[in-house]
């Protein structure tokens, strides 16, 4: 099992550019999550999904979009990148929802300049 | 509203000392779950423990122990005989069934050899 994988590991974007952060899991988990981690701020939930075809907003969804067409994949789309989106992005999955532990990917470090 | 407070931003201890990381939470739910995660310098998030609100038994796992007290809304984490490999950022998190995870801002632990 690879667990949760994320690509790319690092990326530099110019203001106004768009990109998709990829996330995949091979544990057959229904629940998947996207977080951002800013220095000294802990993790904030951007979007989450309780199964293929179902997504919902988290605490900080503005400027992002997601889709979930398969159980395995949960890509995060950044449209019109802004410096405020400079952060480390973590994808996570869980087999049984928020009552159970989440397993995290290695993260994507994004810089917008 | 759910909230997790980790008041200790940074802690430094000398190797072999014991150290306790504090976590105070707020929730109106009667059923909820508490978690600790470790984020070593490499950046990944590692799950350490999950505790549900109906189980106040303390737990010990090797040099790690957790003290859950509903009366004070605290879920503290103690490392006994600390080692350099314990140097990391530690996050406490709270969730309730069907709800999101809420992470504290983390405590950065440095163990000095």
| Min Cα separation B24/chain A (Å) | 15
Pick from B58, B45, B54, B55: which is nearest to B101 by CA? Answer: B45
Helix ranges (H only) for chain A are none
With the C-alpha atoms ordered A46, A35, A76, A54, is the resulting torsion angle positive or negative?
Answer: negative
Q: What is the DSSP annotation of B11-56?
A: EEEETT--EEE--EEE-S-SS-EEEEEEE-TT---EEEEEEETT--
Give tens-digit pLDDT for B34-64.
999 999 999 999 999 999 999 888 888 899 9
Q: Could you tell me if A58 and A47 are in contact, meaning their C-beta atoms sit under 8 angstroms apart?
A: yes
Residue of B nearest to A58 (CA): B100
pLDDT in tens, chain A (113 residues): 789 999 999 999 999 999 999 999 999 999 999 999 998 788 999 999 999 999 999 989 999 999 999 999 999 999 899 999 999 999 999 988 777 889 999 999 999 99
Contact residues on chain B for A48, CB-CB shorter than 8 A: 100
Q: Which of A29, A42, A48 to mutate to test the interface with B (most CBs of B within 10 A)?
A: A42
Would the CB atoms of A106 and B100 count as touching at under 8 Å?
no
């Amino acid at each position: 099992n690879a667990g949760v994988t994320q690509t790319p590991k690092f990326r530099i974007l110019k203001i106004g550019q768009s990109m998709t952060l990829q996330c995949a899991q091979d544990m057959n988990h229904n629940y998947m999550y996207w977080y951002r981690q800013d220095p000294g701020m802990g993790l904030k939930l951007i979007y989450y999904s309780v199964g293929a075809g179902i997504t919902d907003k988290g605490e900080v969804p503005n400027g992002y979009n997601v889709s979930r067409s398969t159980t395995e994949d949960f890509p995060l789309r950044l449209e019109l990148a802004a410096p405020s989106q400079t952060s480390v992005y973590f994808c996570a999955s869980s087999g049984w929802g928020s009552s159970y532990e989440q397993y995290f990917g290695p993260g994507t470090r994004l810089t917008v300049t | 509203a759910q909230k997790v407070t980790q008041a200790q931003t940074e802690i430094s201890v000398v190797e072999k000392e014991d150290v306790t990381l504090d976590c105070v939470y707020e929730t109106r739910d009667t059923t909820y779950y508490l978690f600790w995660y470790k984020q070593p310098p490499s950046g990944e998030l590692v799950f350490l423990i999950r505790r549900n609100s109906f189980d106040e038994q303390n737990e010990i796992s090797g040099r790690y122990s957790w003290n859950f007290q509903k009366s004070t809304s605290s879920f503290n984490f103690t490392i006994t005989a600390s080692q350099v490999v314990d140097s990391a950022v530690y996050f406490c998190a709270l969730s309730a069934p069907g709800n999101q995870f809420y992470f504290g801002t983390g405590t950065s632990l440095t163990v000095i050899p």
